[in-house]
Each structure stands twice: as C-alpha cells, then as structure tokens.
Amino acid sequence: MITYCYAVWDEFVNFIGGRSGLLHWILFCAALVFCAFLGKGDRKRLFWPSVLVLLFFFNPVFYATIGTRFLSGIYWRLLWMLPVSFVIAYALTQFTFKWKKNVVRVAVVVVACVCIAVTGEREFSKETYQEKENAYEISQAAIEISDVVMGSLMDWKENIIVPNELLCDVRQYSCSVGLLYGRNAGGFITDIEDDERAVYEEMSREEPDLEIVTGIAKNRNCRYIVFNTSFHRIPEDLSGYGYEKLTVVQEDYAVYRRIPE
C-alpha cells in the first residue's frame, strides 16, 4: 500500500508541475479552508465537493482498485474536477470585502496575484503557439511520410513505425496509415503489448537496437520504419536487417521499406 501512496503523490506532483505549482496549490487550500467558514451554502457548493474529490484522489485503495485499472496514465485528470481558479477568486473577493481599509484590500489582492504570477507560465510562447505548416495543422513530415506510404499500399492499410514525436500526427492524417503503437505507448488510456513496448523503448533511444526493431517489425507486418536521423544514430544501409532506404522527408526523417523476399 505504501507503493500506491507514493504513486498517488507522484501523480499529484506531476500535475501541479513540481515545486513551481506548489504555491498556487497552497493558495487554493487556504481559499478552500476560508470557504469552510463562510457559511453553510459555501460549504455545500465549494468546500465539501472539493474535499470529496481530494479524498478520492489521495486514497491509495481507490488508486489501487480503480486508478490502475481504468485510469492508467490519466489518473491526474481527477483533479480537473476541482474548481481551483474559481475557489481562489471567490475566496479572495470575500476576504477583501471583510476589510474596511482599502490599503489592506489592495495588499491582499497584490499578494495573491504575485503568488499566481510567480507560479504560472507564459501561455503565449514559442513552445505553446507555433505557425502552422499546413491546413491540417499537424507536422508536415507526418503528411509527407503518410503520402509515401499511401503511394504503394499492399492493402487498404499499412502499419508503420515512426519516431515518438510523430505518433499523434500520423494517426490524424489518414486511416490508411496505421501505427504499431500510438500515444498509448506513453501510458495513456490503455497499455501496449510486450513487442510494442520493446520497439517503443528502442525508438526512444539515440542508438536503438535495430535487430529488435526490425525483427518485431517483420513479425508484425510493418513494411515501413521511419527514423529521425537528427536524433537516432543508425547506419544508412539497413539492408542487412531486411530494410532498404526509400526516401528522406523534411531532411531528417529517413523512410525505410522492407526488402521483398
């Protein structure tokens, strides 16, 4: 049970962003406690529902029986049910109105705003907003790789292996291009099989074990494997593993196709 307690705490720490978000959550907890003393109506609407969510979230028994089975990788989303911003804003408003001096009111608001600003992140930045490359608003490399695969389909659908950064983009472009594994490889929604996990782990390394990747690819009928040559350090010639270099997309993505036997 101790293991589950640590696991729940890790989910919480990852959700708040480590120490950077701790101050914001301290502010929320303080606001929640303040709401408990505002009256029966506020306790019923804000305090008790939030406490109930927290009790479920931090309950190791609930995590072990429900979280690991049905909420694997998304357990932290339970915290979305907490009205964090609303509680802070509401409690701060009620708190300031209890003071008659405007100086104190202003000081309280400023301190709260500083706490929120210090623990927040810039929303409009290069990391969160980028100029779109195409009408699909996904990576252009994913589109070009998919077009290459669709140009010589053996059936209505081809399963391929791509670098991790393209997992979400490829699946949005065409149903004719499938993936050996998708974003669930990162623990979202469902687990993946042992073979898929082995390939994912190798594709996450700078020097993947090509024997493992190509061997599983052949067994799972993946005719195409894509490597990011700016990250993956692999030999250019993979004919010894049964794959030939077909083309290069966007300078960095080398597309290999299985050599017919």
Each residue of 3-33: pLDDT tens digit? 888 888 888 888 887 776 788 888 889 899 9
Which secondary-structure segment (H or E) carries 256? Answer: strand 253-258
- The mean pLDDT of the chain is 86
**Bridge pairing between strands 158-161 and 253-258:** unpaired
Lowest-pLDDT range of 31-40, 114-123, 150-159, 220-229? 114-123
Task: Give 178-227 pLDDT, tens digit per residue.
Answer: 898 887 776 555 667 888 889 999 999 999 999 999 999 999 999 999 99
Q: Which helix (H) or strand (E) holds 57?
A: helix 48-57
pLDDT at position 117 over 60: yes
Q: Distances in Å between the alpha carbon of 58 and those of 16, 65, 68, 175? A: 14, 13, 13, 40
Neighbours of 207 (CB within 10 A): 9
* Structure confidence at residue 188 (pLDDT): 56
How confident is the model at residue 243, as a pLDDT? 95
Q: What is the pTM of this model?
A: 0.64
Q: Quickly tell me which residue has 């597309």 as its tokens.
A: 255
Provide the pLDDT confidence category of residue 244 given band limits of 50, 70 and 90: very high
| Cα(108)–Cα(253) distance, integer angstroms | 54
